[in-house]
Chain A
């Protein structure tokens, strides 16, 4: 699928020689283990499994959105609208529930808005050949504007179904997870299957590798491009629902700048921003790395929240540099 894979003949290399396309993902895994090790060695409370589950509980929505973004970035595109779509979904759900609509109906409506917007953006990107960056930027403005248009203030959710799902704890041994975590993991599995074993997944990698040759090979480039933005929109919508479970409210300024966290997670997870190479598994690791950084900074009471941003920036730098070095060696 990628030149990378062709350059490394499978089965030929000795077992200890890691294929280069796996280097970024393995580096992320190593980083995650090191950070977790630091946490365990520094803080006694860190070693319990609940800490790991909490990372998933606190970042479930981020994980879902990042999975959608992985599809887009694999085709070489970018989707800046996800943070706003997450906010808009949460906002729409909160306000519709506040108006007494049936929760099932609210779920359907909320889950339709994101993909619709994504589909529209994908169509503009494909048919009018405008850069994804600028189209999704407009989508971001649009969705964020819609949030405030719905309500300038935060809208609490008191619906029984919503609070029930949000507060339900599923016991695993001594610890627990929420439904959000299960939903997020389900999304991850479906996405991983789609990318690895379906025709759509193959097309996504092919377009990211080289759109020109994908087109010459007769792959449906346009349809795939529109599909990835629709998928990203759907994931953002699911993320919005999960966020509304998490906060039990919709606020117009929620998830501002989330698209950057999401892109950072995907990059740290080893997906090449030029497209064509990367895994959903890497994205999961990327989200976990961000989550563990936050947990470490919370455990260390003396560090302030802005250190999270600085550390994420530093990690972004390190991983992009790593990608670049791996890329150079490939030549």
Chain B
């Protein structure tokens, strides 16, 4: 009995899922219709579906961020990449005579995706080739990228009227919102590449010790370079979704704070910022927690900015729970055999306000 309990509470996804469920329960208590999902015109609708749809961009960015963090790096530039890719796509579409033609939209997507890959490669070169600390290397693009996005949109908000492009944000496929399908597809692709091949292990090896893995025959620089490109690619798709949602590109505010939300999602999901390990499942639960938190705060008519207060509480709670130093403190205080349950009771209390 106690071993089952220990194994359950010891699982790395246990606390994130408990937090997510607690948020869902709190929402249901506040608004009983929260859990209902209906099928209208062959499309699924409901608050739950909305939460997943709105978290799709964050899931994508956080997936890329997981890989970067697994190598011991961090990518602060994702928000700017979101803004740039959205701006490029919208600018191209807005300049075409027929905004509704599918080839036009596809060309715009390819163009913007290419730009994003270039930006990712820039980060990759700075970190892997020149050897600049990741937080600083990507800070450059974080600052300059937003300027670039504003340069592309000329400081305006580019509004487009393109049916196919809008589909990326609000369309449906197989009764599910299109954004969810895309996020799911990218997730499965990344999961298959990293967990069904040795790639994931190699990435973790580079994060554990880049020099040691290089000596062991891993091309660690190439891997480091690659994760920044993948991160930018994920951010670009997220940028399409975000701009498609509102049918406009705003260089100033598109993707603002998304890098921080993505890092939070990754950390909540149990991936340590020090690198060497990553958990895609945890990242997705983390992203869902953040979006659910944001949605519930909105639903309770609290100012969006005040939502940051709740995020701060959740971040600190989750980080403390996961910090070995914090756990050790509780273990030392209570008698050894009773330690795990009593520690978890205390942690439960910490999470309720979240």
Are A134 and B147 interface neighbours, CB within 8 A? Answer: no
**Which one of A22-30, A136-144, A201-209 is at the interface?**
A136-144
Contacting residues, chain A, for B263 (C-beta < 8 A): 134, 137
Contacts of A189 in B (CB 8 A): none
Q: Would you call A141 and B312 a contact (CB within 8 A)?
A: yes
Q: How many of A's residues come within 8 Å of B, CB to CB?
A: 46
Please tell me if A302 contacts chain B, counting CB pairs below 8 Å: no
Q: Which of A158-166, A171-179, A231-239, A309-317 contacts B (4 or more CB under 8 A)?
A: A309-317
- Given the complex, which residues of A lie within 8 Å of B147, measured CB to CB? 306-310, 312-313
Question: How far, in angstroms, from A305 to B154 measured CA to CA in the complex?
Answer: 10
Whole-angstrom distance between the Cβ of A222 and the nearest chain B Cβ: 12
Within 8 A of A (CB), among B133-166: 133, 135-137, 139-148, 150-151, 154-155
List the A residue with the shortest CB-CB distance to B145.
A313
Give which listed residue, B142, B146, B264, B305, contacts A148 with CB less than 8 A.
B305
Tell me whether chain B's interface is mostly helix, strand or loop, or mixed: helix
Encode contact with A along B44-57: 1 for CB under 8 Å, 0 otherwise: 00000000000000
CA of A148 to CA of B310, assembled, Å: 12
CB–CB A306/B305 < 8 A: no
- Select one of A147, A253, A306 contacting B155, CB under 8 A: A306
B215 neighbours in A (Cβ, 8 Å): none
Report the minimal beta-carbon distance from B245 to chain A, rounded to whole angstroms.
22
CA distance A61 to B264 in the complex (A): 29
Q: Check if B260 is an interface residue, CB within 8 A of chain A.
A: yes
- Find chain B residues with CB under 8 A from A309 CB: 143-144, 146-147, 150
In the complex, the chain A residue whose C-beta lies closest to that of B76 is: A260
Q: Give the residue name and chain of the B residue nearest to A310 (CB).
A: B147
Residue-wise, chain B 312-354 has the 8 Å CB interface mask toward A (1 for contact) of 1101100110011110000000000000000000000000000
Q: How far is the CA of A320 from the CA of B310 in the complex (A)?
A: 36
A138 to B307, CA, bound (A): 12
Q: Is A98 an interface residue (CB 8 A)?
A: no
Which residues from B are CB-within-8-Å of A264? 139, 143
8 example contacts (A-B, Cβ-Cβ < 8 A) are as follows: A128-B323, A129-B324, A133-B74, A141-B312, A145-B311, A145-B312, A149-B303, A317-B144
Which A residues are within 8 Å of any B CB, using their own CB?
A: 78, 124, 127-131, 133-135, 137-142, 144-149, 152, 252-253, 260, 263-264, 267, 273-274, 304-310, 312-314, 316-317, 320-321, 324
Q: Shortest 6 CB-CB distances between A and B: which pairs?
A: A313-B144, A145-B309, A309-B147, A148-B305, A306-B150, A142-B312
Instruction: Please list the residues of chain B having a beta carbon within 8 angstroms of any beta carbon in chain A.
Output: 74, 126, 130-133, 135-137, 139-148, 150-151, 154-155, 251, 260, 263-264, 267, 273-274, 303, 305-313, 315-316, 319-320, 323-326
